[in-house]
C-alpha cells in the first residue's frame, strides 16, 4: 500500500475509524477519504455507489457500524440487524464494482458461539448458538465476513476480515444505557468518586471473563493486516489474555481511587461466560499488542474525565 494510495475509512468518526485515521496518518498516508454520516448515509445503496464511482478509492477500511452494549443490542434488535447489513452490503458491493484493490472488513468477537471452546479459534465460527442478547449484531457481522469470502471466491476480490475483541480507547461511548462494560464502569466509578457515593452497583455476578484491546492497538493491527495478510479466513485481533469482570471492576476502582463499596446486582445479565480469542494466526502474521490494560485504562480515564467530567 503506497503512501499516496487513496484510502477510504468508512466510519471515521467512530472510535475504531478515528483510530485508523490516526494510525494511517502517523504512518505517512496522506490521501485519506472520509465522509460523515450526514454527508453519506451508508445505508443508501445509490448514494454509496455514487460515492465510490466518484472517489474510486484503492483501499477500504470498513469500520462503520451501528454498535452498543448488551442493553442497546437487546432493545434495538431490528436496527442493529438492518442497519449493519445495509452498511456492509453497500460498501462491499461498491468496492467490488469499482475494483478496490483491497478491503478490510471489521467484525466482532461476538460472532462466535456463546459456549465456544476457549480460547476461541477462527474455525469455531458457526459451530453453535450465539449469545441471544447481541444475536442481531453478530448475525450481521457473520454475513459481512461471509460476503467478503463470497466475493473472493466468485470474483477474486482481495477482501479480508478482522474480528477484534472488546475495545476501549479515545472516542469511546460513555452513555450508561448504551455503552460497553469498560466505559460504563469508568463513568460509574468516576461519578461515584466525585459525589462520594457510598456504593457502586455493577451488573451481573462479576464472574464472566473478558479480553480488552486498546483501539490504537487494533488500528495498528488493521494496518499490519492490510499490508501483510491476504487470506480468505477471518483473523482474530486481541491480546490473548483475559480477566474477570470483578478484576476489571477492581482495576477501574483503583485507577480512579474510589473508596466506597461495590455491589454486584445478580438480577442483571452476565452475557457470555467467557470470550477469549485465540490470536495465534495474528501472531504468525507478525503482530502483537503493545498497550497493557492498566496503562490503557489510566490513559483513557485521564483523557475522558480529567480535568473536566463528561457531560
Q: Note the pLDDT tens digit of each residue in 64-76.
A: 999 877 777 788 8
Q: Cell digits for 100? A: 478496490
Residue with cell 442493529: 80
On whether 167 is known to bind a ligand per the annotation, the reply is: yes
On whether 16 is known to bind a ligand per the annotation, the reply is: yes
Quote the CA–CA distance of 111 and 167 in Å, as a whole number: 15
**What one-character DSSP code corresponds to residue 204?**
S
Residue 179: the pLDDT is 75
Percent of the chain with pLDDT over 90: 86
Query: Residues with Cβ < 8 Å from 54, sequence gap 6 or more?
Result: none
On whether 106 is known to bind a ligand per the annotation, the reply is: yes
Q: Cell digits for 86? A: 445495509
Q: H/E element holding 91?
A: helix 77-97
Angle (nearest 5°) at CA 271 between 219 and 78:
75
On whether 269 is known to bind a ligand per the annotation, the reply is: no
Least confident of 8-12, 26-30, 165-169, 173-177: 173-177
- Catalytic site positions: 137
8 A C-beta contact, residue 28 and residue 77: no
Q: H/E element holding 49?
A: helix 45-55
Give the domains, in start order, of the chain with CATH numbers. Answer: 7-170+212-240+277-291 (3.40.50.720)
Quote the CA–CA distance of 275 and 259 in Å, as a whole number: 30
Residue with cell 485521564: 302
Dihedral (CA of 239, 245, 251, 255) sign: positive
Which has the closest alpha carbon to 95: 19, 151, 18?
Answer: 151
Q: Exposed, middle or buried by CB within 10 Å (0-12, 13-18, 19+), for 234?
A: buried
Higher-confidence residue of 132 and 44: namely 44
Residue 85 pLDDT greater than 60, yes or no: yes
On whether 109 is known to bind a ligand per the annotation, the reply is: yes
Mean pLDDT of the chain: 94
On whether 171 is known to bind a ligand per the annotation, the reply is: no
Q: What is the pTM of this model?
A: 0.94
Residue with cell 442493553: 71
Assign 307 a pLDDT band (cuts: 50, 70, 90).
Answer: low
Residue 284 pLDDT greater than 50, yes or no: yes
Q: What residues does 244 pair with on adjacent strands?
A: 209
Residue 2 pLDDT greater than 60, yes or no: yes
Mean pLDDT value across residues 5-12? 98
Quote the CA–CA distance of 64 and 11 in Å, as a whole number: 4
CA dihedral 133, 179, 14, 190 (to 10 degrees): -160
Amino acid at each position: 500500500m503506497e503512501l499516496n494510495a487513496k484510502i477510504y475509512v468508512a466510519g471515521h468518526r467512530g472510535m475504531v475509524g478515528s483510530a485508523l485515521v490516526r494510525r494511517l496518518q502517523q504512518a505517512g498516508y496522506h490521501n485519506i477519504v472520509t465522509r460523515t454520516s450526514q454527508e453519506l448515509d451508508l445505508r443508501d445503496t445509490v448514494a454509496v455507489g455514487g460515492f465510490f464511482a466518484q472517489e474510486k478509492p484503492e483501499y477500504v477500511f470498513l469500520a462503520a457500524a451501528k454498535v452498543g452494549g448488551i442493553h442497546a443490542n437487546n432493545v434495538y434488535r431490528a436496527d442493529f440487524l438492518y442497519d449493519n447489513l445495509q452498511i456492509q452490503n453497500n460498501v462491499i458491493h461498491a468496492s467490488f464494482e469499482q475494483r478496490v484493490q483491497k478491503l478490510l472488513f471489521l467484525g466482532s468477537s461476538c460472532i462466535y458461539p456463546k459456549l465456544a471452546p476457549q480460547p476461541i479459534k477462527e474455525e469455531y465460527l458457526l459451530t453453535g448458538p450465539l449469545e441471544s442478547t447481541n444475536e442481531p449484531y453478530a448475525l450481521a457481522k457473520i454475513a459481512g465476513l461471509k460476503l467478503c469470502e463470497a466475493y473472493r471466491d466468485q470474483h477474486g476480490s482481495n477482501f479480508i476480515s478482522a474480528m477484534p475483541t472488546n475495545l476501549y480507547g479515545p472516542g469511546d461511548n460513555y452513555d450508561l444505557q448504551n455503552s460497553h462494560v469498560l466505559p460504563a464502569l469508568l463513568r460509574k466509578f468516576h461519578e461515584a468518586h466525585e459525589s462520594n457515593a457510598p456504593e457502586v452497583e455493577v451488573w451481573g455476578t462479576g464472574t464472566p471473563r473478558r479480553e480488552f484491546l486498546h483501539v490504537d492497538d487494533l488500528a495498528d493491527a488493521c494496518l499490519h493486516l492490510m499490508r501483510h495478510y491476504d487470506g480468505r479466513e477471518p483473523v482474530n485481533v486481541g491480546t490473548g489474555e483475559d480477566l474477570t469482570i470483578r478484576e476489571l471492576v477492581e482495576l477501574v476502582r483503583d485507577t480512579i481511587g474510589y473508596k466506597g463499596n461495590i455491589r454486584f446486582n445478580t438480577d442483571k445479565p452476565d452475557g457470555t461466560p467467557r470470550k477469549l480469542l485465540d490470536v495465534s494466526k495474528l501472531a504468525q502474521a507478525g503482530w502483537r499488542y503493545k498497550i497493557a490494560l492498566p496503562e490503557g485504562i489510566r490513559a483513557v480515564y485521564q483523557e475522558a474525565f480529567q480535568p473536566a467530567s463528561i457531560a
